[in-house]
Amino acid sequence: MGTGSGGENASEQNSNPSIVVAKQNNALQIFALDDAAARLGLAIGLPLANARAICPRLRVFDADTAADAGVLNDVADWCDRFTPLVALDPPYGLFLDITGCAHLFGGEAGLMQMVCGALTRQGFAVSAAIAGTSICARTVTRHVSGRIVPDGGEAEAVKSLPVFALGADDTITRGLRRAGLKTIGDVASRARHEITARFGDDFTTLLAHALGQGDAPISPRKPLPDYIVEKRFPEPVATEAVISATLSRLAAMLVAAMDRQGKGARRLEAHFFRTDGAVRAIAVDTGQPVTRAEMIDRLFRERLDALHDPLDPGFGFDLIRLSASRVEIVVQQQRDLDANVHDNDELADLIDRIAARIGGQRVVVYLPQDTHVPECAVMAAPAQHHLAAAQQADWPARVTSEPPLRPLRLFARPEAIKVIAEVPDGPPAWFQWRRATHTVRRVEGPERVAMEWWRSQKAMLTRDYFRVEDEAGLRFWLYRDGLYDRGIAQPAGEIIQPNWFVHGLFA
């Protein structure tokens, strides 16, 4: 069962009729209008010049499609409290799949009255209907409001409606009217092949769905979580103690539901629905499947404490929902005899807590890559998802008594240096970097690295890396971009000098 709803802002600050105009076909046409303008005979699509001729005292506003889409998304977020399956029907409609949800709100009539009443109080003009197919619900919504179509009664419900209620292209609607087909029932009385030959397969399919003969699936804005638990309050709650206690109880309920099927949560989301329609969502990720309620409670406490914008309850929350949007099967391990398992669990818990506070992308591990190019030899990956791979990574062996041949940390991008004096086929004797001049005292190298030409479309120069130390004891990792050869000159007589860069610093 689905519901279709549409609405536009209906606040009237004075008695003058108001319209919203947008440029279409190189002319300003009415995009939306209020009830006062509709009573004057104005309609969507009417040119602005004609509208002003009918009513000179019109209040005209420019259309803002981006703002309209934002408002529609906000309304869709608010509708998540009734069903997790909410789909957009642009430019101003929504589909709500209420299958199995209506009994929670006093039945279908009670649910529709609750939705329409709340949106009306927020300043929207709302038209809603419930039907067995989404297209039928939308078709009924465009002509009447508040109707509930019984299962199997779709054809009877739409046959008396005008053809424009189908929402087909204007050329098709005009063609139907010229053919004398003014209602949906008139169109349905014709043979299917006749309608298809004249107006195409898409319109025939639209008509069949409106009549209840099949249905077009809706595309929910968000994927359905694997597990959902929620708490509705008869009176809005605003205190931090009540909110924290509610999250703790919901965490226990969620863990119990997952434990019955041997699952653990990898991604958790908490949604807080305010009475004024605002919705706040907070998500946390975990490195391992979480099966303990106290761990979920701790992660959300860390996340709430780290918010730059505190969780503002406004006039209070009337619904708090906790969901597990990604779960995994929990693999049982021997934990009594293997001490490493306990160490791994503690490390994973620590990473989860730090990630909940500062963000998962800021807690990383390094993985070796099959390449000899220095900046590509190591990849930084989120620790929550790659901890096991980092522990099993096969790093190149080196002599522990010798210092590292490369810096442990490289610059994000190599920084150019100005060479003041240069040793032929060797490193610079003096160079300037970050406005400071350095005199080279000790040198190791070169380490020649040829670029991987087969992975790039453009030519890449060979590099010669040197480990140098200046008079102050600072150690740099420099490289020359290009081979040193003073014997080769360009046709104009210019000798190309290779560029020098500093790629990292040694501790």
Residue 402 located in a structural domain: no
Question: Could you tell me if 67 and 196 lie in one domain?
Answer: yes
Q: Which amino acid is at 402?
A: E
Cα–Cα distance between 155 and 60 in angstroms, integer? Answer: 39
Among the residue ranges 167-176, 393-402, 464-473, the one predicted with the least confidence is 393-402
Q: What pTM was estimated for this model as a whole?
A: 0.71
Among the residue ranges 50-64, 160-174, 178-192, 493-507, the one predicted with the least confidence is 493-507
Q: Which of 297, 314, 329 is the last residue of a domain?
A: 329
Question: Could you tell me if 185 and 62 lie in one domain?
Answer: yes
The pLDDT score that the predictor gives to residue 6 is 56
Instruction: Compute the average pLDDT of residues 401-408.
Output: 79
Question: Could you tell me if 295 and 184 lie in one domain?
Answer: no
CA distances from 135 to 69, 87, 139 (A): 21, 13, 6
Residue 378 located in a structural domain: no
Neighbour tally for 44: CB within 10 Å: 12
The pLDDT score that the predictor gives to residue 321 is 94
Residue 397 located in a structural domain: no
Of the pLDDT bands very low, low, confident and very high (cuts 50, 70, 90), residue 398 is low
Q: Which of 269, 303, 329 is the last residue of a domain?
A: 329
HSE-up (13 A, CA, CB side) for residue 440: 22
Question: Could you tell me if 315 and 267 lie in one domain?
Answer: yes
CATH of the domain at 305: 3.30.1490.100
Question: Could you tell me if 65 and 151 lie in one domain?
Answer: yes
Query: Residues 78-122: pLDDT tens digits?
Result: 999 999 899 999 888 999 999 888 888 889 999 999 999 999 988
Question: Could you tell me if 73 and 185 lie in one domain?
Answer: yes
Q: Which of 310, 329, 348 is the last residue of a domain?
A: 329
Question: Could you tell me if 185 and 231 lie in one domain?
Answer: no
Domain that holds residue 193: 2-16+58-210
Query: Residues 287-333: pLDDT tens digits?
Result: 889 999 999 999 998 888 887 677 888 889 999 999 999 999 887 65
Question: Could you tell me if 12 and 145 lie in one domain?
Answer: yes
Residue 368 located in a structural domain: no
Question: Mapping DSSP to helix (H, G, I), strand (E, B) and coil, where does residue 257 land?
Answer: helix
User: Among candidates 140, 146, 141, which has minimal Cα distance to 211?
Assistant: 140
Residue 485 located in a structural domain: yes
Query: Residues 149-159: pLDDT tens digits?
Result: 998 899 999 99
- DSSP 8-class letter at 285: E
Percent of the chain with pLDDT over 90: 43
277-290: buried (b, 16+ CB within 10 Å) or exposed (e) per residue? bebbebebbbbbbb
Of the pLDDT bands very low, low, confident and very high (cuts 50, 70, 90), residue 12 is very low
213-243: buried (b, 16+ CB within 10 Å) or exposed (e) per residue? eebeebebbbeebbbbbebeeeebbeeeeeb
Residue 95 located in a structural domain: yes
Of the pLDDT bands very low, low, confident and very high (cuts 50, 70, 90), residue 492 is very low
Residue 449 located in a structural domain: yes
As for how many domains the chain has, the answer is 3
Question: Could you tell me if 186 and 291 lie in one domain?
Answer: no
User: Among candidates 338, 326, 343, 327, which has minimal Cα distance to 387?
Assistant: 343
Based on the number of CB atoms within 10 Å of its own CB, is 91 exposed (0-12), middle (13-18) or buried (19 or more)?
middle
Question: Could you tell me if 426 and 314 lie in one domain?
Answer: no
The dihedral built from the CA positions of residue 359, 360, 366 and 370, taken in this order, carries a sign that is negative
Instruction: Compute the average pLDDT of residues 381-400.
Output: 79
Average pLDDT over all residues of the chain: 86
Question: Could you tell me if 180 and 261 lie in one domain?
Answer: no
Whether 30 has a pLDDT exceeding 60, the answer reads yes
The pLDDT score that the predictor gives to residue 487 is 42
Question: Could you tell me if 200 and 273 lie in one domain?
Answer: no
Q: Which amino acid is at 56?
A: P
Whether 489 has a pLDDT exceeding 60, the answer reads no
Whether 463 has a pLDDT exceeding 70, the answer reads yes
Residue 296 located in a structural domain: yes
Reading phi first (left if > 0) and then psi (alpha if -120 to 50, else beta), residue 290 is in: beta
